[in-house]
Amino acid sequence: MRYTRDSKERKRVTLIEGDGIGPEVVGATRRVLEAAGANIAWEVHKAGAEVFKAGLPSGVPPETIASIRETRVALKGPLETPVGFGEKSANVTLRKLFETYANVRPVREMPGVKTPFAGRGIDLLVVRENVEDLYAGIEHMQTPGVAQCLKLMSKKGCERIVRLAFEVAVAEGRRSVHCATKANIMKLTEGLMKRTFEQVAKEYPQIEANHIIIDNCAHQLVRTPEAFEVIVTSNMNGDILSDLTSGLIGGLGFAPGANIGDDVAIFEAVHGSAPKYAGKNVINPTAVLLSATMMLRHLDEFAAAKAVENAIMFTFESGVYTQDVSKTGCVSTSAFADAVIANLGKQSARWKTREHKQLCIRPLDARRDYVRPATRTWVGADIFIESPAAPEELGRRLEALVEGSALRLKMISNRGTKVYPTTGGMTDCVDHWRCRFIRREGAGQLDDATLLGLLGKVGSAYRWMHVEKLEEHDGALAYTRAQGED
């Protein structure tokens, strides 16, 4: 079990109140959990705006990091992302520092909360990969007018998020898991998620496994959301879908979340710090309260989690709500917490508690070279260059530059579309070109000297900014073709 205890055998939890409305919603949550008899010893620490302003670029001080390393569990309020100073978001810093690779977002219709989807029986989870994909934040200006963001997805990253999605389904008695990808377009990155899902699904024959294209998934979520139970997806897709699904049940004020890793779990509401409402005692604390119930289950505090969840639903069913539900008849943050405390031990007539088991987290092999193909063959290189020239001029000159070398120019593409040799299309080109060079027939084995020689020839005439080796792994292409490339 991934938690530690204090001298009184209470489970230690790092508590970060957060920025803006954070202290209010976290304070309300702490009162409710204490009233419910949760066996927790809080360790209060800072992160976010106050830390940024003190001059620490990460927004997370060493003492907070040390506490989480010890407790292995944190409950946090929303943290402000600085504009114009500081570095990465403190939220992202915490996720990456502790490799909390899974973001789990439950979405369930709540009694007394009116939405266009009320009565549909929405009850699903979005399981989002949390540390890879475009959110690695690796970006470059390739030319003054062309930006690049690297989409990095690993086999290990895909496998552990997919496994966790199936384990979540098992822990909650779910019957199906959907994997949502854009594998029809991004066949290597998103395709890796799809292929991994299909491999891992064989180990869970009791769970129905379905692949769905991400845009169709979004479409179906607003047509038949009740058809989904668990959706597993990559980082950016999950960010978008989880906010969409929150909207189905009333908004971000009802959206709890857990960031789960092999060693550490950080529980937080999905909503932001809402600074314009700070100190006004008007914000809905439900998202943090439900995040705390997820934390209690992680800590084996199932009875307290059930009591708090039931009290929240009874409170809504009784017609007690904050301003985000309706500005007529609403109560304050603290009054809502008081009502939940008063309703501890009561059961909503319209809410059936889902029975939970402890989530099984199985760490994968720790080796870095997680995938080891039997054969690897280097077949060429893509060199990305900057030039205002037309494709025909560029192609003829490059062919002349590499004449007699071990590599020949196969094609040039512009923003993914082949433009040389011409396909007869009407592509509007920019000054950023991918020039694909392939080993000539009869040429010997390629080596770094060959590539450096090629770069020297190309660089004598053009500015190059990026190079990729082209390989075959176990006889299969380890790169994609351009649109229109044979």
- Annotated active-site residue 215? The verdict is yes
For the chain, the first-to-last Cα distance in angstroms comes to 53
- Annotated active-site residue 239? The verdict is yes
From the candidates 3, 101, 135, 321, give the one annotated as an active-site residue.
135
The two tokens of residue 55 are: 């001059």
Range 400-414 average pLDDT: 96
Residue 9: predicted pLDDT: 85
User: What 3-state class would DSSP assign to 159?
Assistant: helix
Range 299-323 average pLDDT: 95
pLDDT band at 85 (very low <50, low <70, confident <90, very high): low
Residue 81: predicted pLDDT: 75
Q: Which residue intervals of 202-268 are DSSP H helices?
A: 214-221, 235-248
Residues 376-477, CATH architecture? 2-Layer Sandwich (3.30)
Contact criterion met (CB below 8 Å) for 74 and 215: no
pLDDT digits (tens, 9 = 90+) for 144-200: 999 999 999 999 999 999 999 999 999 999 999 999 999 999 999 999 999 999 999
- Annotated active-site residue 474? The verdict is no
Range 34-49 average pLDDT: 95
Residue 83: predicted pLDDT: 63
From the candidates 182, 306, 410, 418, give the one annotated as an active-site residue.
182
pLDDT band at 91 (very low <50, low <70, confident <90, very high): confident
From the candidates 19, 133, 239, 338, give the one annotated as an active-site residue.
239
pLDDT band at 4 (very low <50, low <70, confident <90, very high): confident
pLDDT > 70 fraction of the chain, expressed in percent and rounded: 98
Range 208-227 average pLDDT: 98
Say whether pLDDT at 86 is over 60: no
| Dist. CA 105–CA 243, nearest whole Å | 9
| Dist. CA 289–CA 285, nearest whole Å | 6
pLDDT band at 2 (very low <50, low <70, confident <90, very high): low
For the chain, what are the domain ranges? 11-342, 376-477
Say whether pLDDT at 393 is over 90: yes
pLDDT digits (tens, 9 = 90+) for 422-467: 988 899 999 999 999 999 998 988 999 999 999 999 999 999 999 9
Residue 89: predicted pLDDT: 80
Strand blocks (E) in 55-136: 73-76, 102-108, 123-129
pLDDT digits (tens, 9 = 90+) for 331-386: 999 999 999 999 999 998 889 888 899 999 989 999 999 999 999 999 999 999 99
pLDDT > 90 fraction of the chain, expressed in percent and rounded: 85
From the candidates 6, 215, 447, 474, give the one annotated as an active-site residue.
215
Residue 149: predicted pLDDT: 96
pLDDT band at 240 (very low <50, low <70, confident <90, very high): very high
Q: Which amino acid is at 188?
A: L
Residue 142 CB partners (closer than 8 Å, separation 6+) = 148, 384, 386, 432, 465, 466
Residue 82: predicted pLDDT: 66
Q: Cis bond leading into 421, ω under 30°?
A: yes
User: What 3-state class would DSSP assign to 111?
Assistant: coil
- Annotated active-site residue 321? The verdict is no
pLDDT band at 107 (very low <50, low <70, confident <90, very high): very high
β partners of residue 208: 176
Residues 11-342, CATH architecture? 3-Layer(aba) Sandwich (3.40)
> Mean pLDDT score of the chain, rounded to an integer?
94
Contact criterion met (CB below 8 Å) for 102 and 261: yes
